[in-house]
Structure 1
Amino acid sequence: MTPSVTPNTIARLRLAAQWILPASASPSPGPADVVRRLTALQGQDFPGALWSIGLRAPGTTRADVEAAFNSGELVRSCPLRGTLHVTLAQDLGWILALTADRMRAGQATRHRQLGITTPDVDKVRGIALALLEQSDGKATREEVLAAFEQAGQGTKAQRGYHLLFLLCVEGTLVQGPVNPEGGNGKTQYYVSPAAWIRNSRDLDRGEALGELALRYFRSHGPATVKDFQWWSKLTLADITAALDLVGHLLETVECNGASYLLAPETAELLGGTVPGARAVLLLPGFDEYLLGYTDRSAALAPHHAPLTVPGGNGMFRATVVAGGKVAGTWRKAQGAAEKQREVAGVVVPELFGGLSPARHKALERSAKAYKRFLT
């Protein structure tokens, strides 16, 4: 009989599956282990993505995570939904082989509006590769866009962004090592995947579909097929084929009449007290804990959604998560007034309601962990 669980249990099982809880993985993982686990994690806010990795790898610092980019283990590109994600360098190619055509098709109307043609893409590809050859194999975003402009390829009104997107999706460019001088380490250099990525994995389509599905449900489950379809943008036919291959390796639970797939080791937690009830965590904006699902209601109450994503504009604030539920937002302290309210000398929380004394202590511990990460 399929176990039936509550939304709160779904949320706390996801904390464990995503390695967000301190004891979710043993031994303690490193940055590459975390990204391998999640397969692809949302990365349009680069400092936030670094903390998404760091909070799942206790004891690591921002410098440790940056080192994984600088060594070529991790890269940032657009493998899913036309949005920046962090992946293992060796995984990027096979994921793009599954998703690139659908992403290009999904942006075709916008590219026509911007006047981007196939000859334009051919031209900027040559420009980008020539620039890398002239600049020791790496170039900043500003340098690439300036080279486009100089060659008569306009970059205003998001045209430059979409040209870079197309070059990343086709595998000509990828964001690799951190630029230490660019916005206090908030940017990366563009490099050529052919030169930068070593030991790229080569999977046939069936293998790739099965691996993407298995890794998603193992790291994000409990999750529904609709969640996976939104996250991957694969067709239902492809998802059905994938689950025909790997579905027997997953378990199922039910919640409010819907079926959720998850890893067997996550399902085993139902045999005791599901962890996370007392945890108070500081997650960055765009973290996979919210962005990894189309239905976020298990963790985010509908009346709190406007406070987390103001105006519904897709810009997710950093969140305070208590017992699996979003209980507020937070930011780094700015200015003298906020310094008076900061926790552990670094974090200013904006809570939706009160916290118990025990949860305030848990919040302080999480703030101290974030402060250690930054050092």
Structure 2
Amino acid sequence: MNASEIPKLRLHNTGLNNSPFKSPADAVSHSGVLQAQDFAAAKWSLGLRIKDSTDKDIEEAFNEGKILRTHVMRPTWHFVVPEDIRWMLELTAPRVKTLLAHYNKKLELDDALFARSNAAITRALQDHTYLTRQELKTVLANTGIETDVQRLAHIIMWAELEGLICSGPKRGKQFTYALLEERVEKAKKLSREQALSRLALNYFRSHGPAQLKDFSWWSGLTVKDAKNAIELIKPKLEQVTLDGKTYWFSARAEITAQESLSAFLLSIYDEYIIAYKDRSDISEARKIEKMISMGNALTAVIILDGKLAGTWNKALKKSRVEIRLNPFRELGKDEQEALESEVARYGKFVGLPAVVVK
């Protein structure tokens, strides 16, 4: 393997180049989790990996609980499938809680308060009662727990990390929360070694070739735990060292001629981008990091042949969706046509004609 193969293999292994999955649950299960703090963008990330899928398909899967959205691994939202949520929380939540400890102290949140808030939230959600964040704020206020925006976010996140609550079905445009024990069937517990092995295998199968530090970043595990996880599955991995960097991957994919030229309109939080600490294989040093740091000011990027090639943004109108492409360089005819095809694909996904605007 040489350096030029890394983006091609990642495009294949993440499911972008061949849309191999039949359902949202299949796509999420393959990846392990899929970052989802931007819900609309996360649905599109799934849509790219599922042949002929639509926004409506993924919304329905979410509302039916076939995929869930909760805080797991790093302290941000991810999609996860029901059969994985319990063992994944058990493995990664202690690390996330450690990372949150400083902020909780500043917000005057301690174990005693979390015990009260967890109990109040659990009572309120019993018997398949689905409540919005603002409704939970009222529940907590009635219990005598003060909540500004940050305190409320941390209180609810803590209940997620404790495995008490997860996403419920949307109510119109609003998100709701549900009791995890009522939303998810019981599953067989995994030992810590089994959980580490499964998480690592998921990652390198769906994101490889990747480095140790990439896996540690993505999973939120310590470097020591990440190393142990790789050791547990080493017989199932291939490895290669390029320019002093050791990459791991589960199996070398067959890259067809048709897959060699590719164009994608991605969220900057798509797993192809966000799931690595070292993103130099797809962009100039620090360029994507600067984009990510811009937050909502810049949330979408153009990928050509696996490399960062520009940005894009959309505007949903009543009868169409307008896409503005901002490539970093002048595009060739084939590249322009490939991007226009992706614009049309996005329109089909959201159910509106899509047009390129200047």
Q: TM-score, normalised by structure 1?
A: 0.87
What one-letter code is carried by the residue in structure 1 that aligns with 2:135?
E
> Could you say what the CA RMSD is over the residues aligned between the two structures, in angstroms?
2.3
Residue 215 of structure 1 corresponds to 202
1:228-270 Cα shifts (integer Å, max 9, x gaps): 011112233322332222111111123222110112143x54x
What one-letter code is carried by the residue in structure 2 that aligns with 1:287?
D
* SS across alignment from 2:276: coil
Looking at structure 2, the residues matched to 234 and 133 of structure 1 have their Cα atoms a distance apart, in angstroms, of: 33
What one-letter code is carried by the residue in structure 2 that aligns with 1:59?
D
1:69 aligns with 2:62: yes
Q: 1:328 to 1:132 in 2, by over 3 A?
A: same
Residue 185 of structure 1 corresponds to none
Q: 1:306 to 1:96 in 2, by over 3 A?
A: closer
Residue 320 of structure 1 corresponds to 302
Looking at structure 2, the residues matched to 296 and 306 of structure 1 have their Cα atoms a distance apart, in angstroms, of: 8
Residue 261 of structure 2 corresponds to 278
1:287 aligns with 2:283: no
How far off its partner does 1:276 sit? 4.2
C-alpha contact (below 8 Å) 2:279/2:288 kept by paired residues: no
Looking at structure 2, the residues matched to 294 and 212 of structure 1 have their Cα atoms a distance apart, in angstroms, of: 17
Tell me which of 144, 160, 168 is aligned to 1:152: 144
Which residues of 2 match residues 33-182 of structure 1 at below 5 A?
33-133=26-126, 136-182=128-174
Looking at structure 1, the residues matched to 227 and 308 of structure 2 have their Cα atoms a distance apart, in angstroms, of: 32
Looking at structure 1, the residues matched to 290 and 227 of structure 2 have their Cα atoms a distance apart, in angstroms, of: 36
How far off its partner does 1:191 sit? 0.2
Which residues of 2 match residues 245-256 of structure 1 at below 5 A?
245-256=232-243
1:347 aligns with 2:323: yes
Task: Provide structure 1 residue ranges, at least 5 long, that are not aligned to the other structure.
Answer: 183-187
Looking at structure 2, the residues matched to 125 and 64 of structure 1 have their Cα atoms a distance apart, in angstroms, of: 33
C-alpha contact (below 8 Å) 1:210/1:242 kept by paired residues: yes
How far off its partner does 1:152 sit? 2.6
Looking at structure 1, the residues matched to 160 and 298 of structure 2 have their Cα atoms a distance apart, in angstroms, of: 24
Higher relative contact order (CA 8 A, sep 6+): 1
How far off its partner does 1:70 sit? 2.0
C-alpha contact (below 8 Å) 1:89/1:197 kept by paired residues: yes
Looking at structure 2, the residues matched to 63 and 305 of structure 1 have their Cα atoms a distance apart, in angstroms, of: 30
Q: 1:173 to 1:345 in 2, by over 3 A?
A: closer
How far off its partner does 1:178 sit? 2.5
Identity %: 32
Q: 1:97 to 1:143 in 2, by over 3 A?
A: same
Looking at structure 1, the residues matched to 210 and 293 of structure 2 have their Cα atoms a distance apart, in angstroms, of: 25
How far off its partner does 1:349 sit? 1.5
1:145-190 Cα shifts (integer Å, max 9, x gaps): 22223333222151110111100000111113223242xxxxx210
Residue 308 of structure 1 corresponds to 291
How far off its partner does 1:315 sit? 7.0
Residue 10 of structure 1 corresponds to 6
C-alpha contact (below 8 Å) 2:68/2:82 kept by paired residues: yes
How far off its partner does 1:199 sit? 4.6
Tell me which of 338, 343, 346 is aligned to 1:370: 346
Residue 189 of structure 1 corresponds to 176
C-alpha contact (below 8 Å) 1:309/1:315 kept by paired residues: no
Task: Provide structure 2 residue ranges, at least 5 long, that are not aligned to the other structure.
Answer: 352-358
What one-letter code is carried by the residue in structure 2 that aligns with 1:288?
E
Looking at structure 2, the residues matched to 334 and 31 of structure 1 have their Cα atoms a distance apart, in angstroms, of: 24
Looking at structure 1, the residues matched to 267 and 139 of structure 2 have their Cα atoms a distance apart, in angstroms, of: 34
